[in-house]
Structures are given as C-alpha cells and as structure tokens.
A and B are shown apart, each in its own frame.
Chain A
Amino acid sequence: MHTWVAINLPKYSYLPGELHAWSTFPITLTDIKLLDGLTNAKAAEYLIRDGPNALTPPPTTPEWIKFCRQLFGGFSVLLWTGAILCFLAYAIQAATEDDPAGDNLYLGIVLTAVVVITGCFSYFQEAKSSKIMESFKNMVPQQALVIREGEKVQINAEEVVGGDLVEVKGGDRIPADIRVVSAHGCKVDNSSLTGESEPQSRSPDCTHDNPLETRNLAFFSTNCVEGTARGIVICTGDRTVMGRIATLTSGLETGKTPIAKEIEHFIHIITGVAVFLGLTFFILAIILGYSWLEAVIFLIGIIVANVPEGLLATVTVCLTLTAKRMAKKNCLVKNLEAVETLGSTSTICSDKTGTLTQNRMTVAHMWFDNQIHEADTTEDQSGASFDKSSVTWLSLARVAALCNRAQFKAGQDQLPILKRDVAGDASESALLKCIELSCGAVRAMRDKNKKVAEIPFNSTNKYQVSHRLYYRCDLNDNRYLLVMKGAPERILDRCSTILIQGKEQPMDEELKESFQNAYMELGGLGERVLGFCHVMMPEDQYPKGFAFDTDDVNFQTDNLCFVGLMSMIDPPRAAVPDAVGKCRSAGIKVIMVTGDHPITAKAIAKGVGIISEGNETVEDIAARLNIPVSQVNPRDAKACVIHGTDLKDLSQDQMDDILRNHTEIVFARTSPQQKLIIVEGCQRLGAIVAVTGDGVNDSPALKKADIGVAMGISGSDVSKQAADMILLDDNFASIVTGVEEGRLIFDNLKKSIAYTLTSNIPEITPFLLFIIVNIPLPLGTITILCIDLGTDMVPAISLAYEAAESDIMKRQPRNPFRDKLVNERLISIAYGQIGMIQALGGFFAYFVILAENGFLPTQLVGIRLNWDDRSVNDLEDSYGQQWTYEQRKIVEFTCHTAFFVSIVVVQWADVIVCKTRRNSVFQQGMRNKILIFGLFEETALAAFLSYCPGMDVALRMYPLKPSWWFCAFPYSFLIFVYDEVRKLLIRRNPGGWVERETYY
C-alpha cells in the first residue's frame, strides 16, 4: 500500500551535483498518513528545518561595491592619484607658506568632483538597466493546494515542505518536485526544464531510471497542462531539479564582455602613456632643477592632460543610446556592455522552440483522398490553402473536432482565432484552431454531437476514442458515431476501410502503401502525425441509450473506416529564414541547440535555413549513395545533426573538429550540461558566442555565453536572470537588428575615441614645452578639464549617431584578437598626426596673443622663471614695457582661453573628419543632426566660458578679442584637407601603405 513513498531512484549523474539526495530525502512513513497529509506541526517543523520552498536568488553584488567599482575603476585611479597629489602639494604649501595659493586645493577638489560625478553617472546608468529586470519578477505569490491534517488548504507555495501532499490541476504551476501518487489524465509541460515542447503525461508508475524521464515525477516550476494529480513533495527550494540548474548557473564564472576587454586594453595603453610621460617629466624636472613641489605639479598636469576624463562617460552614453535604440526594436539590454557583444558575435547557438519557431503546434499537412494537402502555417494566415470542398475533408474535420478535448477559453470571440488562448494540450489545440479556421463553429458541432463515452489517451493504447451520439434529425438517424485518433499505424491496424472522395472503400495493399509513404514523408518533415478514423455504429447493435463501458470495452473498436492523417509541427517564424540568411552573410555561424528530436530539429533547421538548401548531412549522403554511414567522408558533409547521446561520447578534440569543419550544425536532444559544453567548445575556438534560449535548461549556457539572449514572453525567470539581453518579442530576427546595432556602435565608438584622444596632444604638449623650454604655460589644467568634460562631450557622443559607411551586415564579424577598438593606427592618426596639427593651432593662438600684447615669440623661451615669480612686478616685454605679476598672468590666462578656443576650432574639423574612416565627408553627408548640434553647442559653450562675467574668478578664463578666434582656422582647414587626402588615398589604393598604416 505504501510502496509509493519509498522513492527508489537510482543515482543519475544529470548534473555535477548528483541527484542521489532525492532518494535520501528524509521522509519517514510515519509522518504521513496517505490521505491526511502532514500535520500542521510537522509541516511547521520541516519548514524551519528545510527553509522556505523558494530558489535562493543569485548572489547580487551589494550596491556599495558596485558604486565603488565605478568610483575606482578605469581612469579613476589615475585621477585619484592626481587629486591626492594636488592635496599633497597644497598641504606642503600650507605647511611652508603663510598664504598658500589655493590653485592646488581647487584643482584637487575639481578632480575629485570629476571622478565622483562620472562615477555616479556610470553607476546610475547601470542601476537603471538593472531596474528593468526587477519589473520582470513575478510579484504575485504562487499558491499551492496542499492536504494537511486531512483538509485541503490553499497556502503560499513558499510554505510547501517536503512530505506535503499536494494537489495540482491543469493550469497550475507545480509548487515543488513531487512524486505522483495518483493522476487523472495529468499532463505536464516540461519545456522550461528539458526544452521539449510536447506535454508529457504523468502517472504513479516509475517508468524510467532517469528522474527527468520517469512518469511519476513532476518538477518544480513546470506547468500542469491538463488533468489532475496528487503527489507527495520530495524536494523543495534549491534542492529541486530547477534549483540545481539555477545553482549551476549562478556558480558559473562569466567572462568579461568583448567591449569591456577592449576598453580595458585601451585604458592600459593610455595609463601606460600617462604614467610613462608623467614619471619621465617628473625626473626630468628634478634634473632640470625644479623643486619637488613644482615637479609634482607638473606630474599632476601631465596626468590630467593625458587622461581623457570624459571618454568613459561618453562610451557609457553611446552604449546607452544604442541600448535604447535596441529596446525600441524589442532587444532589451540588461548589461550595457552587451550592446556591442552582439556586434562581435561570430557564432549564435539558438534554441529552437519559441525562438526559431512560433512555439505553438500548428497543423501543417493533411493526407486524405490519397493525397497530401498543405495547410497554412504562417502567423498571419498569408500562406496557401487547400481544397476544402472534399467530403472526406468534412469527415476528417468532424473527427478532429469531436475527438478533441481542447477548447477556447471564454471571452475571446473578438480575437483572431490564432491569437486565442486554448485550454488543452498543444496538438489538440492545433487541431482545434485548424478546424475552427477552415470550417468554423467547432462548438456548434460538439453541441450537436453529445459525447457519451470516452477512452482517454494513454501511452499503452496510444489512441483516443470518443463516442459521441450523432443524431441526424432529418434522416431520423439514431446511430452513434465512433471517432478515434492516435498514432497512425495503430489507427490503421483497426481499420478495414478507407474514405476516398466521401466513399468507403476497402483498404487494399496499394492504399496501405500509399498511406505508408505519406506517413513516412510527413514524419521525415519532423512533423507529428496523427491518424483519424470513424465508424457509424449499426443501430441494431447499439440502440439509443446503449451503456458504453470504457473500462471493460463492450463495443466495436476495430473494422473502422480510416479518414486521413493530419500532421502538426511547431512552424518556424516567418522572419527567421531571412534573419538566418542575414546572419550568414554577416559571417555569423548559426548553430541550433535543442532538446527536441533530431528529425524535428533537422526539419526546422532546413526550414529556416540553418541547414541551407543543397547541403547534406553524413546520413543524407549515405542515404543518397546507398552506402553505410561509416563509409562517408565526414568532410564531404557541411551540415551535421548531432544527437545528445553521441555528444556525450565525444572527446574534446572530436568536438573541436565538428565545430571547425561543419558550417551548419544542429545539436538535438541536448541536456543543459551539454549546451554548456557546446558553448565552451565554440569559445575555445575563439568564437564570440551568443546563446538564445528560454528555458531553465538553457540558463547555464546563457550565462556561459559571451552574450546570453533570453526570451521576454516565453522565457523563464531563471533564464532572464542569466541572460544579458532579452528579446521582448521572442523573435530571432530581432537578434539580427542587435548584431547590426552592435557592429555600428563598435565602429562609431572607434570614431568617438579617435575624436576624443586627438585633443590629448594639444593638452599635453603645452606642459612639455613649459617644462623643457621654459615658456609661460600655454594651457592650464582647468581648461584641459573644460575641453575633456565640456566641449568635447557632445560631439563625441554625437558620433554614436553616425550612420554606417557601408553595409556592415555584409562583412565578417570582427576578430577579437586582431581587430581592436583602439589600435596603434588609431593612436598614430590621433596622436601623431591630427593631434600634432591641433597642437600647432593652439600654440599659434598662444603666440599671437602674447605677441600682440608685447611678448614676441623669441623672447618667451626661458622667460618662465621670472614670469612665474610673484615678486617680479616689473617684467620687461619685447617693447620695454614693464608688467606686474597679475597683469601678465591675466595675459597668460587669456592665452589659456585662446588655446582652449583654438582646440574647439580644430575639433570642429576633427569631428567632421572622424565621421568617416574610409569614405569622404562628401560621400557621407552631414545628415547627423546631433553632430551639427554638437558643433554649435561646443562653440556656444566655449564662447560662454570665455565671455560670461565671473569666469575670470571661477575658471580663470578671460574674454578674447574676436580676431583671436580665427587663429586656429588655418589649422582646422589643414586637418580637414589632410584627412580627406588620406582617405582618398585609402580608397584609391586598397591595401596600400596608407591603409596599412592609418586605417583604424
């Protein structure tokens, strides 16, 4: 009687943490009386012992650590060093002088503010995107029906404990891992766990060693589709299968995103340059006889000039903008950096169900009148239809409608049929919708034909028989109609006749063969085929009121009349084949990884182009040439379909071999662990892997992938948690949009960085010349910050809006080892060429102002010592005039302002030049409105900083004479001409020296 409690599951290594804990779950017989369930006291005791029945949320990084990461990551360390040096310098000054100049204190505060503000900015950007995630969390607490002390009580699912007796019915979510003790037509949908879309029946019998395949276990967070079942809870919370997968997921280390690696690489370069230059000049300054304090101040200046303070914020904004643009196209990005990852993706491992397919069974083909008819499977019913006038079709429709327990949920009459919700299993729903679409009014048909008896489907008889009273008033017909559907070969066995053109004909060998062919053909398409038959029961044997007994079948179940076949498939989404094609032309390999059957998987793969037309697998070649599979050279087959059980036996080398040599791969019947192995295999070969999936079983792979893409509608919470990106419309085609946006942003980030880095040279060179040739300082640290964080920002961001120069979906994905965000060519162009011209522009403005005020260039060299001496108040200029300290400092600060304005002027040319990397600006056009706005904005800002009253005190910027604005114009023009010529040479001589040395 009590045998069902002894849970004798053998060890099964499904996951690294083995499930043998199931068999040792501590429930003793005496705890439970079969019908009464646990006592409340016991339940409370277990609840305390085992904890609530909920998955432990993945460990989240505390907010303050996230904040600190923003505050001390990237360039911040350098800036902090600068700020600390500033405070140190001020402290030394304060200790040695009575009236220390506040400059260093002021600069230190400004630097600190810059770091803190950019840190806060990035932090809030990050926080914003993680908030989006919270909206996905299911806020409604799950309920569960348990039996305790003999009474059914509705409790919160979190309070369910091991040993509880629970009851589930169709539509419920299973509250924990349960062992079924009794079931009535119970079917569960395990797709979120195994990826199998077919509902599976549940019964008290242990049918398999594998806990995932045995019939008597139902799993936490899967759904009961129909029927009812009662079961005893064996595992709760993290100990459930779902919990184990979730734990496996959260235990995975995720690598850095490609863009994060790129940015890190770039920060290393810049930091290296800054530290090298800073220390070199620090030592040089000491050797040249400057005091320690001065040397430290130079060091600060060089650091500030070298670090593109605004750049990381610019990158964040660019990524955010792209993320927003992608969200509009139904790609929701959880992790900002993932925006670019899609762009560098070289392999997409896609789940089948729901992503490539519509995730709803649809009738695809029918066979009646000895002919295959094609049904319309498209989402919008735009496909071809078939001849509906045949009498056989009407009979087939009648059988399919009557022998069907699925029904539309109430209150959806105004919705299109395909959008309506159906209660019932997937294939019956498919039939229902198909009939409703082509004949209509299934309900009326059922009302007219009352069901009198039913033998439900189960695996042993594999057919379903519905007896219905079929009452024909006009003909005074009181006969019963028997309808039956099921596995085609079983149905055929019971038939002696077949309906052709509405007439019953005896089933002969020819027709049987024709049936076989049709069955094979449809099965080969990966479709689920059902056979249908009926019979009019003779009135004399089964008069009105005949008592049908379904347990002890007392009526005719053979010599029936075969009506036809209907086959169903989860059809591919309309946009997918096109999207797969686009991926292929973009050099991205699309691999299908599914838990489904190989045949179905292959059929869908062929349907969507993952296995392209004309490409064969080893098996196909073997079948075509009629030779054993072992004789086929695997190299001849570009495509391959690999079964999960075969995958288990493959060595790492074999796996690499498959991934390398086959361009079109389908993995079927894969477990979560194997999905992980596939992802790792691809990554081992250097690919950047995107994984799409919706089920819990996909989540380890989602996490492991460089970018995990979860489904917004059908996706489980665990998968969404593990993913970096969520497709709101579950459509694979949205990924292609994502790839395009990702590639575009990578190109545009290059441009943006090239633009921002260029102005570093006119920022550093003043310091270097100041130290080496002792001229008055041409550009101050505050003005440098004004450029980096003020005028350069909007134009740099505007480059993110730049349109692509060529079709970015026609080229190969970038090679993460070779194709860097910042490479030596970019540095060479930005620092060595454009930057130098910019610096000259700035210096020219500087010399103009000093010369026009009386200090000719020849006199400036070596003047610094007296110039910066506060006690010298009669410094002579080239005309013999004498200047007080403050007077010449005002001129110096005016020079800083002019240098700053000159950088703005040369940056106009730079931003226009950076719009393109290969094309001429005249080809690209000036359609980027944000960029035009940026040009005006930076100019207005520069004018404001120069002319606004009070700026002399606040930022030491002074009004410029109008003519000084034009000093840098020739240099701005020079930059434009120089770069246009360079790009012309690149276009004229593809692969030439200019391209090799300057194309970034």
Chain B
Amino acid sequence: MPSNKDDGGWKKFLWDSEKGELLGRTGGSWFKIIAFYIVFYGCLAGIFIGTIQALLLTVSNYKPTWQDRVAPPGLSHTPRSEKSEVFYNRNDPETYLPYTKALRNFLAKYGEELQRDQMKFEDCGVDPAEYKNRGDLESDIGIRKACRFSRSLMGPCSGTEDPDFGFKDGTPCLIVKLNRVVNFLPKPPSSNESIPEEAQPKVQPNVVPIYCTNKREEDAGKIGEIKYYGIGAGFPLQYYPYYGKLLHPHYLQPLVALQFTNLTMNTDLRIECKVFGDNIMYSDKDRYQGRFDVKFSITSL
C-alpha cells in the first residue's frame, strides 16, 4: 500500500513526476486500460441490448405472457389515501380538499363530452347485460370500441351537482373500480353460499355485486346506510373483457360509487367492501384483492 511508505507516499502515488505517473500509471497505461474498458463495456452493452431485443420479440403486444399474479383482480378506490384512511373535518374545507380533488380528477375522463366519438364508443345499455365479445385478442380487427360509462351514473357522487362529493355534509362518496386485467371475465356468484346474508339481495344476473359493511363488530350500527350508484349497483358484465391498452385505448372500466349517508361523526369507523364472484379471490396478505377496507374519521366540531 502506498500509504505505508514514507510521508510523501500518497502524494507520490497521486502524481509521480519522475515517472510521469498519475495514480500509479503512466498516461499511455491509463489510455490503454480506459480504452479496454470502453470497448469491453461497449460490447457488453451490445450483448445486453441484443438479449433484451430478443426478449421483446418473445412477448406479445396484446397480452402479457403471465397473468397469474395480476388476477384475480384487485379492488381499488378513489380517493386513495395513505394507509387507506379518510380523515377530515367537515367544517374545514382544507382538510377534505385533496379527496374531492382526487375524485374530480378521476371522474374527469368519464365526462360525457369525451365519449361522443361514435368510432370509439358505443352504448352498452344502462342495465346489466352479458359479456360483450369483440373478437380474439390476436385477430386483426384492430382497435375495439369501448362502452360508454357516464359519470352521471354516479348520481350524487358524480360531482356535477355537489362539487364536494358529500364531504362537506358528512356523507362522503367513494368511487370503487375492479382493477383492469386483460382478457379477464369476472364471473358473478353462482350460489349464495359464500355471500353474507345481508349482501344476498344485491345478487342479480350479469352483475358482479359489491357490498360494504362494518369491519369491526363494535362499529355495527354506527355506519348507517350506504348507497350504491352505478349500473346494477355493481360491475356489469357487458364491460368485459378488456382488450388491453393497445387494442382498447378508450376503454372505460365500470365504476360503483358508494355514498355513506349516515356515518357517525367524531369516531373511527372501519368499513370493508367486498366484491363477490366465482373467480374473485381474497388473500390474507393482499388487502386490496377483491376487497378493501377503509377507515373513516370525520370530525364535525
């Protein structure tokens, strides 16, 4: 080690004027080694890019090779929040502004004025219907039309009448969507066995029902009524399957708006929402797969 030598060891190592060495190498030596590494890394980069290109050739443009991790789909909600908590003070608009802003932004793409182009959109009815097959993924039909989904279906939660989405009145809205999965066909429940009794009235043909209730026993009765808006108060099947970004660029996924009309104020409430279907699964670890829970805490003081 150069530092072990006499005092000038380090300095001499940095620049040895006798031999013309910088950091122990002469200029020519530095040039050679740097040139070597440039060429070496150049070749490596070439090889790497080559293998990545080969990889891209093997993946389909329309559908990922594996979908076992993304399906069964997650259930996500807007507004989203840190640790799925909705905290605000009714009397202080500052506290709920982020939520209403998120809702407005989210619903902006569901505006009716954006869905007028007949080449891109079609009506799929306001009642739940069968799956709408638009041909195979790999067939050469090209871009598929999307079903219209107007934000007006969200009723009081559409934001058109109430720009505060009920937050100001203590009746906040939550918009729920079933995560998009290419070519995934959600199946409505075929039997009532796995569905809790209270949710059973919600089961109807061609709809994947959603049902929310208190998560904790002690919150029973404090939640009040929850109103569901949307086609069939669930996820109607005519919006499926989804053909992917490339073939289905204008696709609008069906939404369900939840309005909590009578939440108990000034207390923590945990609400769990679940969708029910034969190919909808839940996982202990993933709290957003087929269900989610959210904590409300609204102060009115």
Q: Which residues of A contact B (CB under 8 A)?
A: 98-99, 265, 268, 832-833, 836-837, 840, 843-844, 847-848, 851-854, 856-857, 870-874, 876-888, 890-891, 894, 961, 970, 974, 993, 997
- Nearest B residue to A817 via CB reads B4
Report the bound CA distance from A894 to B68 in whole Å.
12
Q: Mark B39-60, 1 if CB is under 8 A from A, else 0.
A: 0110010011001100110010
Taking A884-B288, A961-B66 as contacts, is the C-beta distance between A870 and B181 under 8 angstroms?
Answer: no
Question: In the bound complex, do residue B66 and residue A853 qualify as a contact, i.e. CB atoms below 8 Å apart?
Answer: yes
* Residue among A832, A852, A874 with max Cβ neighbours from chain B (10 Å): A874
From the candidates A848, A876, A890, A970, name the one contacting B69 in the complex (CB within 8 A).
Answer: A890
Q: Mark B164-194, 1 if CB is under 8 A from A, else 0.
A: 0000000000000101111000000000000
* Cβ < 8 Å to A, chain B residues 243-276: 244-246, 248, 251
Q: Which residues of B contact A (CB under 8 A)?
A: 1, 32-33, 36-37, 40-41, 44, 47-48, 51-52, 55-56, 59, 62-67, 69-70, 73-74, 76, 80-84, 177, 179-182, 242, 244-246, 248, 251, 283, 285-289, 292
Residues of A with C-beta under 8 A to B33:
997
Question: In the bound complex, do residue A993 and residue B32 qualify as a contact, i.e. CB atoms below 8 Å apart?
Answer: yes
13 A-B pairs, CB-CB below 8 angstroms? Answer: A98-B83, A265-B1, A840-B48, A851-B55, A851-B65, A852-B66, A870-B83, A877-B70, A879-B62, A883-B74, A884-B179, A886-B283, A887-B289
Report the bound CA distance from A99 to B295 in whole Å.
14
Question: In the bound complex, do residue A883 and residue B41 qualify as a contact, i.e. CB atoms below 8 Å apart?
Answer: no
Question: In the bound complex, do residue A852 and residue B65 qualify as a contact, i.e. CB atoms below 8 Å apart?
Answer: yes
Residues of B with C-beta under 8 A to A876:
180, 245
- Other contacts beyond A877-B70, A884-B288, A997-B33: 9, CB < 8 A: A265-B1, A832-B37, A847-B52, A853-B69, A856-B56, A871-B80, A873-B76, A882-B179, A997-B36
Question: In the bound complex, do residue A881 and residue B286 qualify as a contact, i.e. CB atoms below 8 Å apart?
Answer: no
Report the bound CA distance from A833 to B285 in whole Å.
41
Report the bound CA distance from A856 to B57 in whole Å.
12
Question: In the bound complex, do residue A881 and residue B64 qualify as a contact, i.e. CB atoms below 8 Å apart?
Answer: yes
Residues of B with C-beta under 8 A to A887:
69-70, 74, 286, 289
Residues of A with C-beta under 8 A to B41:
836
Residues of B with C-beta under 8 A to A833:
40
Taking A880-B242, A882-B74, A887-B69 as contacts, is the C-beta distance between A837 and B44 under 8 angstroms?
Answer: yes
- Nearest B residue to A888 via CB reads B69
Please give the distance in Å from A236's CB to the nearest CB on chain B. 46
Residues of A with C-beta under 8 A to B59:
851-852, 856
Please give the distance in Å from B193's CB to the nearest CB on chain A. 26
Question: In the bound complex, do residue A884 and residue B289 qualify as a contact, i.e. CB atoms below 8 Å apart?
Answer: yes
Please give the distance in Å from B87's CB to the nearest CB on chain A. 13
Question: In the bound complex, do residue A880 and residue B245 qualify as a contact, i.e. CB atoms below 8 Å apart?
Answer: yes
From the candidates B70, B74, B83, name the one contacting A853 in the complex (CB within 8 A).
Answer: B70
Question: In the bound complex, do residue B51 and residue A874 qualify as a contact, i.e. CB atoms below 8 Å apart?
Answer: no
Please give the distance in Å from A172's CB to the nearest CB on chain B. 53
Taking A854-B64, A882-B74, A886-B286 as contacts, is the C-beta distance between A871 and B84 under 8 angstroms?
Answer: yes
Question: In the bound complex, do residue B64 and residue A874 qualify as a contact, i.e. CB atoms below 8 Å apart?
Answer: no
Report the bound CA distance from A877 to B65 in whole Å.
13
Taking A836-B41, A851-B59, A853-B64 as contacts, is the C-beta distance between A880 and B177 under 8 angstroms?
Answer: no
Please give the distance in Å from B144's CB to the nearest CB on chain A. 12
Please give the distance in Å from A641's CB to the nearest CB on chain B. 37
Please give the distance in Å from A431's CB to the nearest CB on chain B. 59
Report the bound CA distance from A89 to B1 in whole Å.
36
Question: In the bound complex, do residue A882 and residue B69 qualify as a contact, i.e. CB atoms below 8 Å apart?
Answer: no
Residues of B with C-beta under 8 A to A883:
70, 74, 179
Question: In the bound complex, do residue A881 and residue B74 qualify as a contact, i.e. CB atoms below 8 Å apart?
Answer: no
- Nearest B residue to A828 via CB reads B33
Report the bound CA distance from A843 to B244 in whole Å.
27
Report the bound CA distance from A890 to B179 in whole Å.
17
Please give the distance in Å from B81's CB to the nearest CB on chain A. 6
Residues of A with C-beta under 8 A to B286:
884-887
- Nearest A residue to B82 via CB reads A871
Report, nearest first, the 5 A-B pairs whose CB atoms are least far apart.
A880-B245, A884-B74, A886-B286, A882-B179, A852-B65
Taking A844-B48, A851-B59, A852-B64 as contacts, is the C-beta distance between A882 and B84 under 8 angstroms?
Answer: no
Please give the distance in Å from A861's CB to the nearest CB on chain B. 13
Report the bound CA distance from A833 to B65 in whole Å.
33
Residues of A with C-beta under 8 A to B81:
871
From the candidates B55, B246, B289, name the one contacting A886 in the complex (CB within 8 A).
Answer: B289
Residues of A with C-beta under 8 A to B292:
873
Report the bound CA distance from A98 to B251 in whole Å.
39
Please give the distance in Å from B253's CB to the nearest CB on chain A. 8
Question: In the bound complex, do residue B245 and residue A878 qualify as a contact, i.e. CB atoms below 8 Å apart?
Answer: yes
Residues of B with C-beta under 8 A to A993:
32
Please give the distance in Å from B291's CB to the nearest CB on chain A. 11
Report the bound CA distance from A970 to B51 in whole Å.
9
Report the bound CA distance from A877 to B62 in whole Å.
12
Please give the distance in Å from B238's CB to the nearest CB on chain A. 19
Taking A871-B80, A961-B66 as contacts, is the C-beta distance between A847 and B55 under 8 angstroms?
Answer: yes
Question: In the bound complex, do residue B56 and residue A885 qualify as a contact, i.e. CB atoms below 8 Å apart?
Answer: no
Residues of A with C-beta under 8 A to B181:
881-882
From the candidates B47, B69, B177, B180, name the one contacting A840 in the complex (CB within 8 A).
Answer: B47
Residues of B with C-beta under 8 A to A853:
64-67, 69-70
Residues of A with C-beta under 8 A to B44:
836-837, 840
Residues of B with C-beta under 8 A to A894:
69
Residues of B with C-beta under 8 A to A844:
48, 51-52, 55
Residues of A with C-beta under 8 A to B244:
879-881
Report the bound CA distance from A293 to B268 in whole Å.
29
Report the bound CA distance from A114 to B149 in whole Å.
57
Question: In the bound complex, do residue A891 and residue B69 qualify as a contact, i.e. CB atoms below 8 Å apart?
Answer: yes
- Nearest A residue to B45 via CB reads A840
Report the bound CA distance from A713 to B185 in whole Å.
85
Question: In the bound complex, do residue B83 and residue A873 qualify as a contact, i.e. CB atoms below 8 Å apart?
Answer: no
Please give the distance in Å from A906's CB to the nearest CB on chain B. 13
Report the bound CA distance from A878 to B182 in whole Å.
11
Question: In the bound complex, do residue B180 and residue A882 qualify as a contact, i.e. CB atoms below 8 Å apart?
Answer: yes
Report the bound CA distance from A872 to B288 in whole Å.
10
Question: In the bound complex, do residue A881 and residue B69 qualify as a contact, i.e. CB atoms below 8 Å apart?
Answer: no
Question: In the bound complex, do residue B74 and residue A880 qualify as a contact, i.e. CB atoms below 8 Å apart?
Answer: no
Please give the distance in Å from B261's CB to the nearest CB on chain A. 25
Report the bound CA distance from A890 to B81 in whole Å.
22
Taking A99-B83, A847-B55, A993-B32 as contacts, is the C-beta distance between A881 and B48 under 8 angstroms?
Answer: no
Please give the distance in Å from B130's CB to the nearest CB on chain A. 23
Taking A844-B52, A974-B47 as contacts, is the C-beta distance between A879 and B245 under 8 angstroms?
Answer: yes
Taking A851-B56, A852-B59, A886-B285 as contacts, is the C-beta distance between A877 and B64 under 8 angstroms?
Answer: yes
Please give the distance in Å from A607's CB to the nearest CB on chain B. 42
Question: In the bound complex, do residue A882 and residue B289 qualify as a contact, i.e. CB atoms below 8 Å apart?
Answer: no
* Residue among A98, A840, A974 with max Cβ neighbours from chain B (10 Å): A840
Question: In the bound complex, do residue B66 and residue A874 qualify as a contact, i.e. CB atoms below 8 Å apart?
Answer: no
Please give the distance in Å from B297's CB to the nearest CB on chain A. 13
Residues of A with C-beta under 8 A to B32:
993
- Nearest A residue to B289 via CB reads A884
Report the bound CA distance from A837 to B289 in whole Å.
39
